[in-house]
Structure 1
Amino acid sequence: MPRSSLSRRNLLKTTAFAAASVVSAPYLRHSYAAGKLTLGVWDHWVPGANTTLTKLCNEWGEKNKVEVTIDYITSQGDKDLLTASAEAQARAGHDIMSHRAWQVQVHRNVLEPVDDVIKTLIAKAGPISPVSEYLATHEGKWFGIPTTVGSQVKPCCSRMDLYKQHCGIDLTAIFPANDNRDPKLVDSWNWDLYLKSAEQLFKAGFPVGLPMGQTSDAIDSTGAMFRAFGSVMVDEKDNIKIDSNETRTALEYFKKLMPFNPPEVYAWDDAGNNRWLISGKGAGIMNPPSAWAVAKRDNPQVAAQCWTHDMPRGPTGRFVGQLPFFYGIWSFSQNKQAAKDLLQFLSEKEQSRQLVAASSGYDLPSFKSYYDFDTWQKVEPPPGTVYNYPPRGDEQPSITGYPARPDVAAQIYNQSIHTIMVAKVCQGNEPIDKVVKWARGELEGLLRS
């Protein structure tokens, strides 16, 4: 796959210049925006996915007489984040830059508002993911456009054979590869049933694997679980809410659940749960279809038994961790109009359809009206294995740290407060009241900073 030759040092050497402020106006696409555009884009891990994005950009460029150059920048070692930070500091670099999750809020002071593009997209595609809106807006203005590329949710990915054999649960009956769900069966998939089945699978020698370290897979799934129990750390008005019955109930639940996981989950990085499932030792994880995709190559027998499906329901609902990616246009871009035109083109349904297909269903657009793409029905084995990857039914996307102000929530997320609480209670055997008091102290510190 193409890689970026852009270095942080070279970027910082580039002469910085001030960007003019532009007042948002109703968005109009220009047939011939003309000029040049440079993109710094997240380097996709799925072979061929970059090729499809390049093809789409080149097609648009040829039609609109714009020379488009793309640098694919790996996220390994956070090189994409370092590059974006260097460009923001230097006020020079690409015109368009990929931003993961919280990074739009980090760089919003040097990002061009894109309300005009978003309004046009919503008019065509309907409502946008509330998580994407939460992450990309400030004081009512949009500073990022949700990408199809890289965006993901983290539902259950389970071994349907093991659940059927050891728990008597037919996951394909509860979550079929179509819209004909039985509401009673769906309602039965709750955290109580998850706990019961986790114990059965553990005793059978095939534990579930829920990471409980300080990387995104652990933070996303654990945060969604806390929210399902109604636990909130900080509300939108900066009130600390962690000291609650809901938080204690969630931690009591984790005390029961975590012993049915392999003990090494507290040290897993984002690849740990994938390896656990692919090895054939694990019965289920919470992850995008990446583990299944690698299993197709490395352990086809496991892949043939994987079924992606909704998270369990808790007392306050069914929540799944969402991690959107965004495109941002730097305020110092020399061709903002062409940048907006290109991003509108890439975000439209037909182009998103091609990008989803290129990723074998891993990439997830922020528009629910796009969830009818046939990729999620067609990819196999088994047929329909990732049909339920997009949130359907009553499953609600969530991000850890919500509903706190995004700058506060980002610190809650990045400091892994949820997973550390679970580790203190379940691995360190600390009393729940002591751990809640610790978390409250951490949150007070965040709000003072």
Structure 2
Amino acid sequence: MASNVKFSRRRLIAGAASASALSIASPFIRTAHAAGSLSIGFWDHWVPGANDSLTKLCKEWGEKEKVEVKIDYITSQGSKLQLTAVAEAQAKSGHDILQFISWDAPNQAKNLVPVDDIVNAAMQKNGKATDVVEYLGKVNGSWIGVPATNGSQVKGPCGRMDLLLKHANLDIVKMYPGVNGKPDKALQDQWTWDAFLSAAEKCYKGGNPFGLGLGQTTDSVDWVGALFAAYGATLVDAKGNITVNSDATKQVLGYMQRLVKVIPADVFAWDDASNNKYLISGQGSLIMNPPSAWAVAVRDNLKVAEQCWTFPSPKGPKGRFAPGLPFFWGTWKWSKNISAAKSLLTHLSDRASIEKMVIGSGGYDIPGYSNLRDFKTWAEVGPPVGVSYNYPPRGEEIVSIAAAPAPVAIAQQIYTQATMTKMIAKCTQGGDSVAKAIGWASSELEGFMRT
């Protein structure tokens, strides 16, 4: 029987099949009777055309293994992908493989098939998983999700070369050049959060403010989390102790009281599309975002795209932190085809498959493995050529996620409740003092401990 791939965009739930008995996760061996079906729910990519590369990879695997692959691409807008995971976990039916955004994987750990065999084999070939990927993907010593390439991202600065040079005398290409350039180490050392604030003030005066969201969605929470990490400001430590009332937290909030004066007034209401639109419109001189904003600008406003350049985050007293958002692929324990699911996830974890996804996303996707930072896409994609060369974290950059290193169950609440950006809102928009904003956060964190 000829294999084929069927997919529909943004289908929320795969179906209402009855819960299946728990399958045994044995290695997938292709035989004359291996034909079957595999239902997958992938994240619907922001970058135009990126889904096509993943579909092709799955189709090729399905044809080889005689498995019919059915794919749904589910948007994360309106939390539809997250709601799909909750609904399927309650129903114990749905997709065989589902993609999870960061915290959703450990949150479903008890319902997911352990995948140590897949991830350990992948790390032998691709290098160690990054610390933040391990922090989220490994629960009680066991991998419960396979690091997903599609969707995984960091959110460093994407700046306008012309406007930053004009308003702030900041030559970001000299500081972080493309593949054949010689980086200016002195300029890199000077690229601190204090320098960031100075540049933001100058661009504001020049009429092209930085577009930095301070709402309650991931783009806002992620870059703010990296700022907190750079100053060593943690809300809860790795042992579960509340540590928000610190000099470091006070320093960050004081910093933000200055920064909010020179960014758009409505940033507290921004969602994940707002900063993209702001840059593409030509208004903004810098946002914190993956290359999706640039990719859309190539299509919708080429003059803006030609002036974009992605480069590392500023450095703080504790280091240079890249705001990360890892994604995972997981297989439900009630899947009817666990062995085929694990075989496909093994295929998608090969270097060659990962590179195809990176190419298809125009360099947006960041693999979760430390040795996969050398793909040509980041050096070659344009215009301008080299726009994404500095996008993958290398060297001194540390990939982080907001709310770490708190225990995951607590960190997830800090993240999803946007505690950090709410603190900033209280002491910049709500009339509270820094001390009162920290007191509010302490009370919130105590509540998180009880739930």
Q: Is the 8 A contact 1:3 1:74 kept in 2?
A: no
Q: Is 1:103–2:108 an aligned residue pair?
A: no
Give the equivalent residue in structure 1 for 2:3.
none
Structure 1 letter corresponding to 2:345: L
What whole-Å deviation, never above 9, does each CA across 1:81-131 have from its counterpart, x for those lacking one?
222222211212221111111111221111000001111001111111211
Structure 1 spans left out of the alignment, 5+ residues: none
Alpha-carbon distance, 1:160 to partner: 1.0
**Percent same amino acid among aligned pairs?**
49
Which residue of structure 1 lines up, in the alignment, with residue 388 of structure 2?
A: 386
Q: Is the 8 A contact 2:12 2:81 kept in 1?
A: no
Of 13, 18, 35 in structure 2, the residue corresponding to residue 15 of structure 1 is: 18
Matched residues in 2 for 1:86 and 1:267: separation? 28
Aligned pairs for 1:22-421 (under 5 A) are 30=29, 32=31, 34-178=35-179, 180-421=182-423
Moved more, 234-243 or 424-433: 424-433
AA partner of residue 42 (structure 2): V
Q: Distance in 2 between the 1:255 and 1:56 partners?
A: 48
Q: CA deviation at 1:20?
A: 4.8
Contact 1:233 1:401 in 2 (8 A): yes
How far does residue 379 in structure 1 lie from its aligned partner after superposition? 1.1
| 8 Å Cα contact 2:148/2:329 also seen in 1 | yes
The TM-score, its normalising length taken from structure 1, stands at 0.95
Alpha-carbon offset, residue 447 of structure 1: 0.4
Q: CA RMSD in A?
A: 1.8
The answer to whether the Cα contact below 8 Å between 1:18 and 1:91 also exists between their aligned partners in 2 is: no
**Quick check: 2:12–2:74 contact (8 Å CA) kept in 1?**
no
CA distance in 2, matches of 1:145, 1:34: 24
Secondary structure of the structure 2 residue equivalent to 1:37: strand
Residue 163 of structure 1 deviates from its aligned partner by 1.3
Mapped partners of 2:320, 2:241: distance in 1? 24
Would you say 1:3 and 2:8 are equivalent positions? yes
Shift of 1:225: 0.3
Q: Is the CA contact 2:209–2:284 (under 8 Å) kept in the aligned structure 1?
A: yes
Question: Which residue in the other structure is 1:429 paired with?
Answer: 431
* TM-aligned CA deviation for residue 205 of structure 1: 0.9
- 1:276-320 Cα deviation digits (max 9, x unpaired): 111111110100111111111222111111110000000101111
1:438 paired to 2:443: no
Structure 1 counterpart of 2:55, one-letter code: T
1:429: how far off?
A: 3.2
> Any idea what SS the aligned residue of 1:83 has?
helix
User: What amino acid maps onto 1:62 in structure 2?
Assistant: E
Of stretches 46-55 and 356-365 in structure 1, the one that deviates more from structure 2 is 46-55
Residue 117 to residue 360, structure 1, CA distance change in 2 (3 Å): same
Flag structure 2 segments of 5+ consecutive residues without an equivalent. Answer: 1-5
- Say which is worse superposed, 354-363 or 82-91, in terms of deviation: 82-91
**SS at 2:378's partner residue?**
helix
More off after superposition, 354-363 vs 305-314: 354-363
- Once residues 169 and 42 of structure 1 are traced to their aligned partners in structure 2, the CA distance between those partners, rounded to angstroms, is 36
Aligned-pair distance for 1:192?
A: 1.2
